[in-house]
Amino acid sequence: MKKEEKSDADSFACLAMFGTLELQPEVREVVDSMVQRLGTLSWKSGGRFVAVDLRVDVLEKKGCRGNGDTRSKSCYHAREIAAFLRKIGFDKDTTIYLTQSRWERSLDPLKEFFPKTYTKESIMPVDKKGKFLDPKAPTIEEVIDFYICSQSDVFVPAISGLFYANVAGKRIASGKTEILVPAYTHDSSASADDYISHYITKKNHLAYSCFC
């Protein structure tokens, strides 16, 4: 392939993966409403909120096993996420959005320390829940999660995988590079900067070749 043709192909690939996709007006309205609601709930922290990709069903399917390294696992439960966020300095007033659709008891440990923890069901407009919280049509929920996680001030992937990579790409494209990857730490002076995603620190995400 000629260099010019390859460049054109790369441009199309970048546009397809990280370009601005037009949401249906009703979906855009729901996303905007939820982001605005999260901002309002975060008034004590200047409207900043944290989005955590944590879905109970996915954790159960993965078995949440480590990869042999005590500092790194492929997924983290609510209690582990709570401990991680506390360790790196987030306080009780932090507003957290979970990609979980509805509340489950296994999430209680997170809410015990971070009372302002919400699922889609708790912040979605009441008149939209019947249509957009349909277990038979999970794709639309994933779209909503993708855009909220892309717009949050901080993104924490409790589950490694394609969703994390896609959100990271979208955030890199928009300059929102505060992506914190959980890991066990015994360091009492741990800083959030120590857990910035390798996509950011090593600039090894495809999005960098597209936009940087």
Question: Any idea what the CATH number is for the domain that residue 175 is in?
Answer: 3.40.50
Give me the helices (H) in the chain, please.
3-18, 25-41, 56-62, 78-87, 108-113, 120-123, 129-132, 138-151, 162-174, 198-201, 206-211
Domain count of the fold of the chain: 1
Q: Print the domain residue range for 38.
A: 24-211
In a domain, 29, yes or no: yes
In a domain, 19, yes or no: no
- Tens of pLDDT along 97-150? 999 999 999 999 999 999 999 999 999 999 999 999 988 778 889 999 999 999
Structure-token pair, residue 179 = 């992506």
- Tens of pLDDT along 168-200? 999 998 999 999 999 876 776 788 999 999 999
In a domain, 10, yes or no: no
pTM value is 0.86
In a domain, 8, yes or no: no
In a domain, 171, yes or no: yes
